[in-house]
Structure 1
Amino acid sequence: MHTKTTSNNQATTPVREHYTTGIVTSQDGTSIGYRQYGHGPSIVLVQGGMGSAHNFHQLAGTLADTFTVYVPDRRGRGLSSPHSNDYSIQKDVEDLDALLMKTDARQVFGLSTGGLIVLRSALVLPTIHKLAIYEPALSVNGSTPLDWVKRYDKEMAQGNVAAALITGMLGPKMGPPIMQYIPRLLLEFLTKMMLAREDKNGSGEYLSMRTLAPTLHHDGQVLFEMSETLENFHTVQAKVLLLGGSKSAAFQKASLDALEKVLPHVTRVEFPGLDHGSVWNYDKQRNPGGKPELVAQELRRFFAEP
């Protein structure tokens, strides 16, 4: 069944929830740390690029009145071990599988590259009964920009973290639209200042940009591995909820359009006025466009359905 709806834009105040932490061991021995919130049926939230478990703190907290919410740190982030030299998206699938087995979760949400990991997992893990995905950026006929990855890798190899971060934002058009009109040298200068400020003052519970910068390489690899694999997903038997914002980039909407046509059991919701970063915590300085409570409303509705 295919349906398409538009979500209303009424916000509620995110619940402030405490959490505990735990660790599971993946198939290759890698430790995957996670946060656990709330009580009720289990769901797992899988993070996208340049984020850690803490970026989902408000989303998880808002869902915690209804569900037990597990939020893993992907490899190379926070509570989890570093990436191995033989990394591929299959490692992320195995990491998710280990958490699903421990928690008995059957419902999963993924953002961006995390959405691609969830999609891939749904092909091979029959334990997943429902999956919700926010703008997975699946490249269809070259729709998702991928040419930035080589430049990013070169800049990281040269130790120019600020330049690499700008490449990782401008290439896939992930930053605010105004970034496309600011001279690159100015953007790099401002990013160096931000990195220096974090180095001096810390970044609180958020992982610093310098810490997260190397993980963009692996997110780029996920994009490459999943590129042009659309037809694989006509066999997905799980119920799927596709989510996106009206203000998001055209290639993100193209990914959702294509998946909506292929997935056999799919519902789609678009949020007026939201963009790719709206799933993350509202933070006046870091993410003033955060609206996780709106996304939580749709996830609660979808995951509560029989």
Structure 2
Amino acid sequence: MRAAELTQGTATSRDGTEIGYYKTGEGPAVVVLHGSMESARSHTLFAEALADEFTVYLPDRRGRGLSGPHQPDHSVRTEIEDLDAVLTAAGAERAFGISAGGAVVLEAARTLPTLKQIALYEPAIVADGAPHREWLARFDQEIARGDVAGAMVTSMFGFEMAPAFLKVMPRGLLRWMTEKMMSKEERQADAGAITMRQLAPTIHVEGTIVAELGGTFDNFRTVEAEVLLLGGSKGLPGLGPGRASLEKVLPHCRRIEFDGYDHGSSSDPGGVNPNGKPEVVRRIAAEVKAFFKQS
């Protein structure tokens, strides 16, 4: 499969912030909204797999790459306005969202008439958002004093991403390991690549999204869009129950659980998908493509 030929564009959100995106392919438009610790380029393999039948838009969410900065009053509503700007520029009625991006796409489908079909990979909707507000305070303090590695450790536990063996390790050792990992990535990164250290401050917004939408399952009973709900058997444990709840309340929902896939499986190998394989990305993309071709 040939590498995607990406062109760049911008859309203007409601508050005047520029939201940049990459674009590839031909056919009806699909907007792909990335997740936490990612940027627009995190789903180029996914875009390639759709590009023969769809025009794929890969926006950078705020605070990343081609897009403008977060504002102090940033909320889920801001994220929806940013997505709406790209949907309008693309003329898109379809969107695919991952993790926190999936939560935004789902809330957008509830509030925007534009979206007719959405696919979600492990959307970050949890039963209770309150615990996320608690760890965000410590995270913000660590970022403010330049302790990016410490903040990353705090968010890892806050998002319940830590495997069992890490939970018994001293926090100082985890911080040291995280710093080494970020430094190694920076040494090996291509010119212009968006690194984990650069992305780390954006985790604050991801936490606020999860907190704001936590426990809102019943709100999604009014979603009229067709929904493809995806996840993996090795995904984040805290998000599995949420998918089960969403399956019950969404009026037009089909659910697929991939055996052995984890939270980052739809993303390009590297970053949040360190054990990723192109064939895994393509399998997820094949299900999404088939779903979007139904209408």
Equivalenced residue count is: 293
| Superposed displacement of residue 147, structure 1 | 3.8
In the other structure, the counterpart of 1:302 is 291
State the distance in 2 between where 1:54 and 1:70 align.
Answer: 11
**Contact 2:129–2:210, Cα closer than 8 Å, also in 1:** no
| Superposed displacement of residue 174, structure 1 | 2.4
In the other structure, the counterpart of 2:236 is 249
| Superposed displacement of residue 184, structure 1 | 2.2
> What's the CA shift string for 1:22-43, capped at 9, x where partnerless?
1111111000000101111110
**Range moving further from structure 2, 246-255 or 264-273:** 246-255
In the other structure, the counterpart of 2:59 is 72
| Superposed displacement of residue 102, structure 1 | 1.0
Provide the TM-score with structure 1 as the length reference. Answer: 0.89
Identity %: 43
| Superposed displacement of residue 289, structure 1 | 2.9
Selected match of 2:250 from 254, 259, 263: 263
State the distance in 2 between where 1:274 and 1:104 align.
Answer: 32
Secondary structure class of the residue paired with 2:74: coil
Secondary structure class of the residue paired with 2:45: helix
Matched, 1:100 2:92: no
Q: Deviation above 6 Å: which 4+ runs of structure 1?
A: none
In the other structure, the counterpart of 2:282 is 293
Selected match of 1:46 from 6, 24, 33: 33
Matched, 1:187 2:174: yes
Q: Unpaired segments of 5 or more residues in structure 1?
A: 1-13
Provide the TM-score with structure 2 as the length reference. Answer: 0.93
RMSD, matched Cα: 2.1
In the other structure, the counterpart of 2:22 is 35
In the other structure, the counterpart of 2:200 is 213
**Contact 1:135–1:244, Cα closer than 8 Å, also in 2:** yes
Greater relative contact order structure (CA < 8 Å, 6+ sep): 1
| Superposed displacement of residue 200, structure 1 | 4.8
| Superposed displacement of residue 84, structure 1 | 1.2
In the other structure, the counterpart of 2:78 is 91
| Superposed displacement of residue 195, structure 1 | 3.0
Counterpart of 1:215 in structure 2: which amino acid?
T
Q: Per the alignment, do residues 141 and 201 of structure 1 end up closer, same or farther by CA in structure 2, a change over 3 Å counting? A: closer
| Superposed displacement of residue 204, structure 1 | 4.6
Secondary structure class of the residue paired with 1:264: coil
State the distance in 2 between where 1:144 and 1:16 align.
Answer: 41
